[in-house]
Amino acid sequence: MSDALVVFTPSGKRGRFPLGTPVLTAARQLGVDLDSVCGGRGICSKCQITPGYGNYPKHGLTVAPDALSEWNAVEQRYKDKRGLIDGRRLGCQAQIQGDVLIDVPPESQLHRQVVRKAASARAIAMDPATRLYFVEVAQPDMHEPSGDLERLGNALRHQWNIEGITASPGILRKLQSVLRQGNWSVTVAIFADHRPGPARILEIWPGFHEGPLLGLAIDLGSTTIAAHLTDLSNGAVIASGGVMNPQIRFGEDLMSRVSYAMMNPGGDAEMTAAVRLAVNALAQSVTAEAGADPAAIMEAVLVCNPVMHHLFLGIDPVELGQAPFALATSDSLAMPARELELTALNPEAQLYILPCIAGHVGADAAAVALSEAPEQSDDLVLIVDVGTNAELLLGNRQRVLACSSPTGPAFEGAQISSGQRAAPGAIERIAIDPRTKEPRFKVIGSDLWSDEPGFGEATARTGVTGICGSGIIEAVAEMRLAGIVDTAGLIGSPAQTGTERCIADGRTHAYLIHDATDTGGPRISVTQGDIRAIQLAKAALYAGARLLMDEMGVERVERVVLAGAFGAHISARHAMILGMIPDCPLDKVTSAGNAAGTGARLALCNAGARAAIEAQVKRIHKVETAIEPRFQEHFVNASAIPHAIDRFPELARVVTLPVVSHNTGADGGGRRRGRTRG
Amino acid sequence: MSDALVVFTPSGKRGRFPLGTPVLTAARQLGVDLDSVCGGRGICSKCQITPGYGNYPKHGLTVAPDALSEWNAVEQRYKDKRGLIDGRRLGCQAQIQGDVLIDVPPESQLHRQVVRKAASARAIAMDPATRLYFVEVAQPDMHEPSGDLERLGNALRHQWNIEGITASPGILRKLQSVLRQGNWSVTVAIFADHRPGPARILEIWPGFHEGPLLGLAIDLGSTTIAAHLTDLSNGAVIASGGVMNPQIRFGEDLMSRVSYAMMNPGGDAEMTAAVRLAVNALAQSVTAEAGADPAAIMEAVLVCNPVMHHLFLGIDPVELGQAPFALATSDSLAMPARELELTALNPEAQLYILPCIAGHVGADAAAVALSEAPEQSDDLVLIVDVGTNAELLLGNRQRVLACSSPTGPAFEGAQISSGQRAAPGAIERIAIDPRTKEPRFKVIGSDLWSDEPGFGEATARTGVTGICGSGIIEAVAEMRLAGIVDTAGLIGSPAQTGTERCIADGRTHAYLIHDATDTGGPRISVTQGDIRAIQLAKAALYAGARLLMDEMGVERVERVVLAGAFGAHISARHAMILGMIPDCPLDKVTSAGNAAGTGARLALCNAGARAAIEAQVKRIHKVETAIEPRFQEHFVNASAIPHAIDRFPELARVVTLPVVSHNTGADGGGRRRGRTRG
């Protein structure tokens, strides 16, 4: 026998190879997904495999104990130094000596699937644009003169099949010393995304360098900026962080920032500088939190709404404030991060900005579309990304529509009298007893309800400071269910409602939730103005969804996904009581968490996902709410609060049920139910 | 007749077209080289053509007076506003009405040949990487939202067949306002060179913009930096200038600069900053001289030796100072000029640096190879680029070899006691009467010889200040011919030479050329040390040439081309008397002028030339002189001065002939000969 059959699992790929062929070589020839950074030199240990011995009738294979070459010194050294699970071999060392079954464990798969933390089954397939390659470079030869870069290029071509490389002056500057320091063996970080053109050297280290290679997924919101520091080899988020968008000082909502740019010459440049500074600071803080080196960040992916998009790029956003809401550029953008002054990363780090869908539907909506993939949904799904501006996607395999809706920042707790952003001390859940009209609530930072023993002690440090976005939605919905607010949104007097918590507030009334004024704390209430702000916001959101449904020619959606950091905390029941979203069976309303951030992470971990969303965005049909008369019509019709209750009888039953926490699941809910009722 | 025959000259292309077809359209369909910036909108007047009427038997054509549509209002407006030569039509306006002969005048040819100023017949074919395009862009549409950039891209695709564009944040920043200012008609400067990838928008103007588009060809020498400001539409040099390389203060020759970098931490960065500053200043001064706008400079092409290459790129040159003389990178480089701090050009200007041939044979030698094209020569040509380092090319259609030779700066007047750079007042020509041993000379800035009437007045302003490179070569050669210097290079005493001009100078003698000490001026002489410096330099140059001839297996070259700004001024006779260059019939020694600069201009005007020289450089065989024992051998053998005279009897006759100025030609020479002999 001069050759042998090799079968790889889980791929099922098989082929015959000459005896003596390393398993890694066989895998490469068959296109089996087996990782390697050192190219088979026994340095990186990425190519671990598990041989199977014995009978495998399913594969028509019997594997003898000597089907692979003997455990060798390189493998032993590795096991001693770094540990190797029993039964594992290094694919570059183990040679084929007979028919054999080779299992590639998930850690050794370059394109392994990384299951997302959230409940959704959607997974991230790793296919990063930046990877590490270990190469041995030919030394210079006076008789065949060529540059160090050109010999490195040859090594990458011969050892890794990478055709054509390019390097910035910054890399050229360090190339000579690193090559000589590494005695002509170096590890290079190579960037090659979905666009044509030569691969780019982002970094070079002497000898073998294990990494990490990091990427930063940035969700640049109007109010907050979030960043996820991600390991580009496995997709793991190693640190996350957020800061307030410093542009808030120029205007709370987007349109006031556009106005600022219009009214103040140089105002847009000022806002650009502020937000870039904040992103740099955030990159530094998440990197510090992870104990990582900022120079390890090789890529950043940014998602944001169109106004932030322009302000981040340094483009005057004024055109976005008026019809026809023309973007300066809508396609994706890819460039060195330093061109946009993102200097906290590796100097060669590459930035990718997802495409915008339209002048009101930004790269953040594209990221949500990438994460939630409505174009792959069998049922008609409405995806709502609630932020300062709500962005909506409606679609299924046939067609996907998009629009945005000017909800304003009320859902984020802004423009609400006791409103605050989601931070410890903020009321995030509220229940009002329909008989006694007494409220009980939970604050961020504590698992206890306000009427549970120990609540005072548990919240002593933070106090109860205000109501955040999800809290105000629950408050208004509960007030409606308890009869404190009528259909039109008017708060009743103590006489009408039968509770002294309805206190006079000018010529209207406010509902008192918590009064800590005797201990120097705040008095937290929901005012008539707060109700109006929420009514306007929810009517806008609902009208946007209805407009898309009109365009699609449907009266019902089959599924609703609430996206956005805020969407993760909204109670679907209360959202539907309020009439924020169209009627839909409650069990078909799910939260996607921060879907825009997930989309950014997807694009960060998978260069193919960038090509996919660029193509998909071109297929999405855009609906402009601002000029659509039916939007106004829907908006006016949607301001009443009982809206959903009338048409959704089962919602009425919610009234008699206590609130179940989304986070603690059925058990926790059951426990609390008992206590509450008791 | 529903169609007609159209014949274009000078191309001879012909075809039948429906009546009513504009001439420009017909030209495009046939691939006739007819320029247009506005795409046939009657704005740019680049598509001027000359119709021929009457009988053209050679073309089998009879053209009726009404073969083209009538002269129209657009053409009349143009003629009134800007003038149009009688008989010319605008190709976009004139429509075919019958068989017609259309001549495309040279100015209307996009790829027209621009004949070089110098005597050589070599021409520059225009094929610039950057061109202007006038486009009409669709206005934004809320119902089909897309970015301004994407609509501009569509317009370029539909109106100009340009697929795929990209733009920097700087262009994105101005895009919106320029599009609206031009009422959705704009002119864009698009850069698309020989490399794959999307075309790049370098500049955008509202409405129709006529140009100019400028390019800067930069010849970055160790001693001087020269720049030619070139019109990218026709290759015309509109201004040239030069400055001293400020790195001279860190070391006169390249190796002393490399030493400076080795001995002084940060020394290379200091030199990099200095030379970039000087290139910026030079760009500003030539632009100012031309009365042009620096922002009109869209491209720069740089040629230089390897050490300057590294110092300009910011790469430590130390590796170039020691075997194996490894370049950090040898391939061509293309990048935005701002990446190398060339900020005096348009902010989007693109820089191209020609490839280096080897660690001692730089991008300047590649430029000479591009300009002189030895690979296209039927006879074996030796091309010598004389500078601080001499670079040599030897080859023909079969094979091209290259090497460099460490001549040192003596040929440039440096390290010579009375040496100076070529500037007004410097002696550039010398003749010594073999009988009287009396010298006469010419200085830069005057056409008169020193023994002609009026010389004193003509040089009163500058005086006679020193000897430049070409002057010192002539001086030494003439001293040898007059018997003042012997074969070994020793200056004789007054007794030996019979002239009191041989004055004592320490333990040796010096030959006095000019003494102005009585009027406070300098005393200009050639010392024994000067002779030694020239002997070393010429021996090095000759040894390099011999080494290439050995490698080629030849004993003779058929043609010698002297390149370099200095080469332009060397008298071929004197160079051969001195033994600088191998034996070759005198009429086969020509000057190519600043061939490196010409190569830079070629690459600037023709993107295809960039691809051509990149391919050619890979084919050139490099010979490293530093490690070649035969180089030392040749060097030692070449230090004697009579060298060429012995083997080249006709050169002896030079002794009895006066010097003929290269610049004034045969007539001038004859006139002077008469005077001299008389």
Reported as a single tens digit per residue, the pLDDT across A210-254 is 989 999 999 998 888 999 999 999 888 999 988 888 988 888 778
CA distance linking residue A51 with residue A64, whole number of Å: 11
- Contact criterion met (CB < 8 Å) for B324 and A175: no
- Contact criterion met (CB < 8 Å) for B173 and A329: no
CA distance linking residue B183 with residue B52, whole number of Å: 39
Question: Which of A142, A176, A327 is facing B323, going by the closest CB pair?
Answer: A142
Asked if the model's pLDDT at residue A564 lies above 80, the reply is no
CA distance linking residue A538 with residue A548, whole number of Å: 16
- Contact criterion met (CB < 8 Å) for B325 and A145: yes
B149 touches chain A (CB under 8 A): yes
Question: Which of A168, A327, A622 is facing B147, going by the closest CB pair?
Answer: A327
- Contact criterion met (CB < 8 Å) for A330 and B173: no
Residue A37 φ/ψ, nearest 5 degrees = -100, -35
CA distance linking residue A663 with residue A660, whole number of Å: 9
Token duo for residue A154:
């040859």
Q: What is the mean pLDDT of residues B31-35?
A: 86
Asked if the model's pLDDT at residue B665 lies above 80, the reply is no
CB neighbours (10 Å) of residue B23? 29
Chain B residue whose CA is closest to A336: B168
Confidence bin at A112 (pLDDT 50/70/90): low
Burial of B90 (0-12, 13-18, 19+ CB in 10 A): buried
Q: Are A639 and A489 in contact (CB under 8 A)?
A: yes
B142 touches chain A (CB under 8 A): yes
Q: Are A227 and A217 in contact (CB under 8 A)?
A: yes
Residues 606-665 of A with CB under 8 A from B: 622, 624, 626-627
Residue ranges per domain, chain B? Answer: 3-108, 129-206, 214-353, 410-533+655-677
- Extended beta strands in A477-622, E state: 502-505, 508-515, 523-527, 559-563, 589-593, 621-622
Cis preceding-peptide flag for B105 (omega within 30 of 0): no
Residues 6+ apart with CB under 8 A from B673: B657, B658, B660
Homologous superfamily of domain range B3-108:
Beta-grasp domain (3.10.20.30)
Reported as a single tens digit per residue, the pLDDT across A448-460 is 999 999 998 988 8
Nearest chain B CA: its distance from A38 CA (Å):
24
Asked if the model's pLDDT at residue B414 lies above 50, the reply is yes
Q: What is the mean pLDDT of chain B?
A: 87
- Contact criterion met (CB < 8 Å) for A140 and B326: yes
- Extended beta strands in A167-210, E state: 185-191, 199-206
Set of chain A residues whose Cβ sits within 8 Å of the Cβ of B169: 313-315, 335, 339-340
Locus of tokens 């009743």: A492
CA distance linking residue B76 with residue B93, whole number of Å: 11
CA distance linking residue A552 with residue A623, whole number of Å: 11
- Contact criterion met (CB < 8 Å) for B627 and A316: no
Task: Classify strands B390-395 and A466-467 as parallel, antiparallel or unpaired.
Answer: unpaired
Q: Are B151 and A324 in contact (CB under 8 A)?
A: no
Set of chain A residues whose Cβ sits within 8 Å of the Cβ of B322: none
Nearest chain A CA: its distance from B524 CA (Å):
43
B315 touches chain A (CB under 8 A): yes
Query: Mean pLDDT highest for which of A283-292, A462-471, A479-488, B572-581?
Result: A283-292
Residues forming beta bridges with residue A4, ordered by sequence position = A17
B322 touches chain A (CB under 8 A): no
Chain B residue whose CA is closest to A310: B173
pLDDT at residue B677, rounded to an integer: 30
Question: Which of A139, A148, A328 is facing B327, going by the closest CB pair?
Answer: A148
Nearest chain B CA: its distance from A619 CA (Å):
11
Burial of B167 (0-12, 13-18, 19+ CB in 10 A): buried
Kindly state the greatest CA–CA separation across chain B: 101
A163 touches chain B (CB under 8 A): no
Asked if the model's pLDDT at residue A120 lies above 70, the reply is no
Q: Across the A/B interface, how many CB contacts are shorter than 8 Å?
A: 149
Cis preceding-peptide flag for B212 (omega within 30 of 0): yes
Reported as a single tens digit per residue, the pLDDT across B263-285 is 888 899 999 999 999 999 999 99
- When computed from its CA atoms, the radius of gyration of chain B, rounded to whole angstroms, is 29
B323 touches chain A (CB under 8 A): yes
Chain B residue whose CA is closest to A316: B173
pLDDT at residue B411, rounded to an integer: 83
Amino acid making up residue A476: V
Nearest chain B CA: its distance from A247 CA (Å):
19
Residues 6+ apart with CB under 8 A from B325: A140, A142, A145, B306, B319, B358, B359, B360, B624, B626
B169 touches chain A (CB under 8 A): yes
- Contact criterion met (CB < 8 Å) for A145 and B622: yes
Token duo for residue B535:
């002997």
Nearest chain B CA: its distance from A355 CA (Å):
10
CA distance linking residue A602 with residue A235, whole number of Å: 9
Nearest chain A CA: its distance from B170 CA (Å):
8
Chain A residue whose CA is closest to B169: A313
CA distance linking residue B433 with residue B503, whole number of Å: 18
Token duo for residue A64:
């003898």
Among A485-489, B30-34, B120-124, B166-170, the range scoring the smallest mean pLDDT is B120-124
CA distance linking residue A288 with residue A244, whole number of Å: 18
Reported as a single tens digit per residue, the pLDDT across B300-340 is 999 999 999 999 999 999 999 888 999 999 999 999 999 99
CA distance linking residue A471 with residue A443, whole number of Å: 9
Question: Which of B175, B329, B340 is facing A150, going by the closest CB pair?
Answer: B329
Cis preceding-peptide flag for B106 (omega within 30 of 0): no
End-to-end Cα distance, chain A? 79
pLDDT at residue B82, rounded to an integer: 83
B177 touches chain A (CB under 8 A): yes
Among A102-116, A180-194, A295-309, the range scoring the smallest mean pLDDT is A102-116
Asked if the model's pLDDT at residue A533 lies above 60, the reply is yes
Nearest chain A CA: its distance from B36 CA (Å):
28
Burial of A143 (0-12, 13-18, 19+ CB in 10 A): exposed
What is the CA B349 to chain-centroid distance, rounded?
A: 20
Confidence bin at A292 (pLDDT 50/70/90): very high
- Extended beta strands in A57-119, E state: 61-63, 89-90, 100-103, 113-115
pLDDT at residue B567, rounded to an integer: 67
A164 touches chain B (CB under 8 A): no
Question: Which of B172, B315, B624 is facing A313, going by the closest CB pair?
Answer: B172
Domains B3-108 and B129-206 share a fold: yes
End-to-end Cα distance, chain B? 78
B327 touches chain A (CB under 8 A): yes
Mind spelling out the 3-state secondary structure of B177-196? HHHHHCCCEEEEEEECCCCC
Q: What are the distances in angstroms from CA A444 to CA A420, A421, A464, A516, A659?
A: 12, 11, 9, 17, 16
Q: Are B326 and A141 in contact (CB under 8 A)?
A: no
Chain A residue whose CA is closest to B329: A147
Confidence bin at A649 (pLDDT 50/70/90): low
CA distance linking residue B559 with residue B586, whole number of Å: 9
Nearest chain B CA: its distance from A325 CA (Å):
7
Residues 6+ apart with CB under 8 A from B520: none
Asked if the model's pLDDT at residue B292 lies above 70, the reply is yes
Question: Which of B328, B330, B340 is facing A176, going by the closest CB pair?
Answer: B328
Set of chain A residues whose Cβ sits within 8 Å of the Cβ of B172: 313-315, 328-329
Locus of tokens 């030392």: B632
Q: Looking at the domain B129-206, which fold is it?
A: Ubiquitin-like (UB roll) (3.10.20)
- Contact criterion met (CB < 8 Å) for B169 and A328: no
Interface test with B, best of A149, A156, A173 (most B CBs within 10 A): A173
Set of chain A residues whose Cβ sits within 8 Å of the Cβ of B404: none
Cis preceding-peptide flag for B324 (omega within 30 of 0): yes
Torsion sign over Cα A340, A344, A348, A351: negative
Q: What is the mean pLDDT of residues B522-531?
A: 94
- Contact criterion met (CB < 8 Å) for A329 and B356: no
Q: What is the mean pLDDT of residues A647-665?
A: 40
Mind spelling out the 3-state secondary structure of B501-515? CEEEECCEEEEEEEE
Set of chain A residues whose Cβ sits within 8 Å of the Cβ of B340: 169
Taking the domain A214-353, which CATH number applies? 3.30.420.480
Question: Which of A314, A325, A329 is facing B142, going by the closest CB pair?
Answer: A325
Q: Kindly state the helix (H) or strand (E) to which residue A214 belongs, with its residue range.
A: strand A214-220
Interface test with B, best of A141, A329, A342 (most B CBs within 10 A): A329
More confident residue, A362 or B420: A362
Interface test with A, best of B157, B165, B176 (most A CBs within 10 A): B176
Reported as a single tens digit per residue, the pLDDT across B89-141 is 999 999 999 999 999 888 888 766 543 333 333 567 889 999 999 999 999 99
Interior CA angle at A481 toward A476 and A482, to 5°? 95
- Contact criterion met (CB < 8 Å) for B142 and A316: no
Task: Classify strands A381-385 and A390-395 as parallel, antiparallel or unpaired.
Answer: antiparallel
- Contact criterion met (CB < 8 Å) for A142 and B325: yes
- Contact criterion met (CB < 8 Å) for A313 and B197: no
Q: Are B640 and B381 in contact (CB under 8 A)?
A: no
pLDDT at residue B646, rounded to an integer: 55
Closest CA to A294 of A203, A226, A224, A208: A203
Q: Are B190 and B130 in contact (CB under 8 A)?
A: yes
CA distance linking residue A249 with residue A268, whole number of Å: 13
Amino acid making up residue B249: R
CA distance linking residue B551 with residue B394, whole number of Å: 10
B145 touches chain A (CB under 8 A): yes
